[in-house]
Amino acid sequence: MSLESLAVRFGTPLYVDSADHILERLGLFQRALSGREHLICYAVKANPALAILKLLAERGAGFDIVSGGELERVLAAAPEAVDRVVFSGVGKTAEEIDRALAAGILEFNVESEAELELLATRAKKLKRRARFALRVNPDVFAETHPYISTGLHEHKFGIDIRQARRIYREAGGNRWLEAHGISVHIGSQIRAADPFGAAAARVSQLVAQLRQDGIALQSIDVGGGLGIDYHDGRFDAASIVREYVGAIESALAGFEGRLLLEPGRFLVAQAGALVTRVLNVKRNGRKTFVITDAAMNDLIRPALYQAYHEIVPVRPRAGKSRVVDVVGPVCETGDFFARDRRLAPVRPGDLLVLLDAGAYGMAQASNYNSRPRAAEVLVVGAKARLIRRRETMEDLLATERV
């Protein structure tokens, strides 16, 4: 599929996603876990496009949600998959809990004793028994960006694993609560399997203790967080999945219940690209700036996390590469995609592609500087279809009143 033709047809900036790539990654997990009961719950926050949710649901995936809005997306895209939804997040509201109970989701991943009390209250009011899993904090260090590390005791996520046994026992006296599983999530963009295995081992010990208490959990949710390579290196996804699953399976030896995984980035990041057009090439003193029509409101990861994305011309020109900053037109010095990056020669009107942008790209896009959000296209085989139209100024102004 020609990115040049897509840019002409749909304009720029433009997000392009590969359905085949997404399904291939899903299949890696499903095949690696074919020997045990499992459910792959896609982390909706990575890319919540309805078309992608529908695509995954049709292949048997479930969903990990962190808000009532994400639940509504699942219900809009694949209502038949609502019983494959787990609801995570530290700040669930009563309204969100009511909606999820009424919809009949699989389980709530509960992150505090106060939340468990609220869940019990709402379940009683609605006369619906609530299945829950405590999200325990295993205090396992994972080498990743501090903003996306979640498994240490100083983080806002989860319940101290040392308190979990008592909480499960106390919850057993409430007729409106069902201790269905246990959950753990230690962070995102983690490239090594060992931290996942260490977290799963701590959970496995707790599950064994609960069994002694007469509490037989049906599922263990080991979360997501498996990372990718954003640089231009060899990336053997199948091997990485096998190593990851092997570490978890080894740690959970003896557990015969259902295993839940919550991959997000690993499924969609490398399936997506952001196509942008060069507006100008500007020299300021010793610095050369390549100014594009995409900006930090379209892809904030470089500004927010100092994240790296490969940037390549769609149609490379001959000539010597040079060191440039690739930036957008937003009125912020932090509006950049790359600093001091070696890039092949480009001219105004050329197309550039920011690779591995399928996760947390469109999902974190905003209207900063009153910029309409980009269009998004899904490529299926040799066909492309628009799955999110480009916003207009009418869209941006529709909610406001003078």
pLDDT digits (tens, 9 = 90+) for 247-295: 999 999 989 999 999 999 999 999 999 999 999 999 999 999 999 999 9
CATH number of 89-261: 3.20.20.10
What value does the mean pLDDT take over residues 95-119? 97
Give pLDDT, residue 152.
45
Among all chains, which residue has been given the structure tokens 């999530």? Answer: 185
* pTM (predicted TM-score): 0.94
Q: Which CATH class is domain 3-13+270-390?
A: mainly beta
What value does the mean pLDDT take over residues 342-351? 97
Give pLDDT, residue 213.
96
Give pLDDT, residue 338.
98
Give pLDDT, residue 155.
58
Is residue 381 within 8 A of residue 20, CB to CB? The reply is yes
User: What's the pLDDT tens digit per position in 303-313?
Assistant: 998 999 999 99
Antiparallel, parallel or unpaired: β 375-380 and 383-388: antiparallel
**Length of the chain, in residues:** 402
Q: Confidence class of residue 141 from pLDDT cuts 50, 70 and 90?
A: low
Q: How do the domains of the chain map onto residue ranges? A: 3-13+270-390, 89-261
Read off the tokens for 371. 């910029």
Give pLDDT, residue 365.
98
Positions annotated as catalytic residues are 331
Q: Residue 109 phi/psi, 5° resolution?
A: -85, 100
What value does the mean pLDDT take over residues 367-387? 97
Query: b/e per residue, 243-275, with b = 16+ CB within 10 A?
Result: bbbebbbebbeebebbbbbbbbbbbbbbbbbbb
Is residue 374 within 8 A of residue 15, CB to CB? The reply is yes
Instruction: Please name the residues in contact with 196: beta carbons below 8 A apart, sequence gap of 6 or more.
Output: 186, 190, 222, 225, 226, 244, 247, 248
Instruction: Please name the residues in contact with 270: beta carbons below 8 A apart, sequence gap of 6 or more.
Output: 21, 25, 228, 235, 355, 356, 358
What value does the mean pLDDT take over residues 215-230? 95
What value does the mean pLDDT take over residues 366-372? 98
Residue 148 has pLDDT above 60, yes or no: no
